[in-house]
Amino acid sequence: MAGQAIIETKDLSRVYNHHRAVDEVSFHIEEGEVFGFLGPNGAGKTTTLLMLMGLTRPTSGTARVCGLDPVRQAKAVKAQVGYLPENVGFYGDLNAVQSLEYIADLNALARREAAEKIRDVLEVVGLKESMGKKVGTFSRGMRQRLGIAEVLLKDPKVMFLDEPTLGLDPDGAIRIIELIQALNRDRNMTVLLSSHNLYQVQKVSHRVGIMIAGRMVAEDSIEALGKEKLGVEGQEYSLEEIYMKYFQEV
Amino acid sequence: MQGLFAIYRKELSDHFSSNRFVILFALIAMVSFITSYMAGINLRENLEGVAKPKFVFLMLFNTPGALFSMVQFVAFFGPLIGLVLGFDAVNRERADGTLIKVVSQPIYRDAVINGKFLAGASNIAIMVVSIVLVIAGFGLTLLGVVPGIEEVWRLIFYVIISIFYISFWLGVAILFSIFFRSIATSALASVALWIFLSFFVSLGASVLADTAVPVEQKEEARAEAIMKNVRIKEGVSLFSPMVLYSKASATIIDPMRKTTRSFVLLGPMEQLSAARFQNPLSLGQSLVVVYPYMVALVAITLLCFAISYSVFMVQEIRT
């Protein structure tokens, strides 16, 4: 890993009616890493992701995603970045394959190529047996995995996963986390993982960023943060301790 | 363009497979069937033993059968088709969390609106054309008259005007589905606007006209006052798309109508002079008469679409 910065922001801000939802956030994500994006609810994580996707216009500041400007080249950015929103929705009356076909259509994939890819991604997320079932009957864990399959369909360079394990049972959550690890390892996928589950984040992330009240208060590897905040090295410690420390400071 | 086609295809197949469409289509097909059947029966009785007037075929559409003619039926209830097809177009996707997913694919955001509007409009076109064809075929067997080429052209124009009229209401429904997050609110708002514009504007027009220029029973200056009164009434009622549409379509479908306005106060002398021009208008002349109405209809449809477009483009989509 340790490649070039694939995502870079500089003083990125978004103001809603005098409320600074995102306040001069500068950070970078390197190619091929899993970046854990932490912070309490309403800290501005989703807004930051939307700005990186070009779905929301920043009030000020700039961002580069895969060398592109999300404000001016939104379509090109969206072709390379896969976004799994929090509580992703599906058309309940379509089955898994039809859902993926629609996404393939939107991504302008040719029919034959799409059919092949759909089989492939269903295999990867482990939904091959349920491919003919209507999405309306899917469990929450299956929906999340289908969401990841939809993201994978366009062969993204970067994946933004917003709370992918929220509300999942432990088994479902572990499957998602293992899937993220496998994608990162086998396909060198860069992943931006936003989550409240610090244990899971610690397990997969190379580096983490902590965002509180619109500001990025920390951005480094977990070891470095542990050294800085807890003054420990090589000992057993959890990301939770670091996180709480930052949280209390603010 | 790819995104537009993908959304268009998806929407169209959604429409066709929805129960909503089936029910709506069945209802409208049934009513228009009954209407034209009654009209056909009436026509056959009335025309028995009489020299056949010109344009018998078109009378199928503009002769009131039981209660209303086909043209009136579309004017009243056509908007309902547009509203039903569009009232939850955008806010349902928002509620289901699928909108954010669609717009985070590599498409332009306007493709969503364009695709939905075009799919709805195609749907409307299919409904209108098939119903007109059914009635026409029905009329062929019922009346035994073959339509002339001019009648066919008039029907084509009628179909085009109807498609625009219903698409206007589709545009209104889509606009409300963008404005309002709640599906129930957008449905209520669009139905309320429909009832207001279709039924209350004409009522309000006469009230307004009577307040502004009361028509007194005194003899002097009566004609002028009546003219003014009528002008105000007509001007105000043109705010109703239904009035625009009924006038345009009635004139297109009925060559004997020479103006979109209704006559007032025909004295015996005036009647006599009007009777000298009892020949039907040519198609071109009918078009000239309804041209402003057609332009107005197209304009409000486009205006509605443009507003939805500009609102949607700047709206924040988070779910």
User: What would the 3-class secondary structure string for chain B be?
Assistant: CHHHHHHHHHHHHHHHHCHHHHHHHHHHHHHHHHHHHHHHHHHHHHCCCCCCCCCHHHHHHHCCCCCCCHHHHHHHHHHHHHHHHHCCCCHHHHHHCCHHHHHCCCCCCHHHHHHHHHHHHHHHHHHHHHHHHHHHHHHHHHHCCCCCHHHHHHHHHHHHHHHHHHHHHHHHHHHHHHHCCCHHHHHHHHHHHHHHHHHHHHHHHHHHHHHHCCCCCCCCCHHHHHHHHHHHHHHHHCCCHHHHHHHHHHHHHCCCCCCCCCCCCCCHHHHHHHHCCCCCCCHHHHHHHHHHHHHHHHHHHHHHHHHHHHHHHHCCCCC
Q: Which residues of chain A have a CB within 8 Å of the CB of B105? A: 78, 103, 106-107, 154
Interface test with B, best of A65, A100, A102, A143 (most B CBs within 10 A): A102
Least confident range of A186-195, B10-19, B29-38, B265-274: B265-274
Q: Which residues of chain B have a CB within 8 Å of the CB of A108? A: 2-3, 6, 106
Q: Which residues of chain B have a CB within 8 Å of the CB of A83? A: 100, 104
Report yes or no: B115 at the A interface, CB cutoff 8 Å.
no
Q: What is the rounded average pLDDT for all residues in chain B?
A: 85
Distance CA B308, CA B167 (A): 13
Q: What is the pLDDT of residue B221?
A: 63
User: What's the average model confidence in pLDDT over B177-181?
Assistant: 93
Report yes or no: B96 at the A interface, CB cutoff 8 Å.
yes
Q: Using the beta-carbon criterion (under 8 Å), do A75 and B107 form an inter-chain contact? A: yes
Q: Residue A2: pLDDT above 60?
A: no
Q: Which residue has the higher pLDDT, A58 or B280?
A: A58
Report yes or no: A78 at the B interface, CB cutoff 8 Å.
yes
Interface test with B, best of A73, A106, A111, A113 (most B CBs within 10 A): A106
**Interchain CB contacts (distance < 8 Å): A and B:** 69
Percent of chain A surpassing pLDDT 90: 62
Distance from CA of B178 to the nearest CA of A (A): 17
User: What's the average model confidence in pLDDT over A63-87?
Assistant: 92
Residue of A91, A93, A107 with shortest CB distance to B105: A107
Q: What is the pLDDT of residue A1?
A: 43
B235-272 tens-digit pLDDT: 888 888 998 898 888 888 887 776 666 555 566 776 66
User: What's the average model confidence in pLDDT over A3-8?
Assistant: 84
Q: What is the pLDDT of residue B237?
A: 86
Q: Residue B177: pLDDT above 90?
A: yes
Residue of A75, A107, A154 with shortest CB distance to B108: A75
Residue of B nearest to A72 (CA): B108
Q: Using the beta-carbon criterion (under 8 Å), do A105 and B10 form an inter-chain contact? A: yes
Q: What is the pLDDT of residue B85?
A: 92
B72-89 tens-digit pLDDT: 888 888 899 999 999 999
Least confident range of A109-113, A215-219, B211-215: B211-215
ipTM for this model: 0.89
Q: Which residues of chain A have a CB within 8 Å of the CB of B97? A: 85, 87-89
Percent of chain B surpassing pLDDT 90: 36
B32-63 tens-digit pLDDT: 788 878 888 888 888 777 777 777 788 878 77
Q: What is the pLDDT of residue B274?
A: 65
Q: Using the beta-carbon criterion (under 8 Å), do B107 and A106 form an inter-chain contact? A: yes
Task: Give B281's pLDDT tier (boundaries 50, 70, 90).
Answer: confident
Residue of B nearest to A152 (CA): B105
Q: What is the pLDDT of residue B263?
A: 55
Please classify residue B221 by burial: count the beta carbons closer than 10 Å to its beta carbon, then call 0-12 exposed, 13-18 middle and 19+ buried. exposed
Distance from CA of B116 to the nearest CA of A (A): 14
For residue B199, give the DSSP letter: I
The three-class DSSP label of residue A108 is coil
Report yes or no: A19 at the B interface, CB cutoff 8 Å.
no
Task: Give A135's pLDDT tier (boundaries 50, 70, 90).
Answer: very high
Interface test with A, best of B8, B92, B101 (most A CBs within 10 A): B101
Q: What is the pLDDT of residue B277?
A: 65
Distance from CA of A228 to the nearest CA of B (A): 36
Residue of B98, B104, B108 with shortest CB distance to A55: B104
Q: What is the pLDDT of residue A138?
A: 93
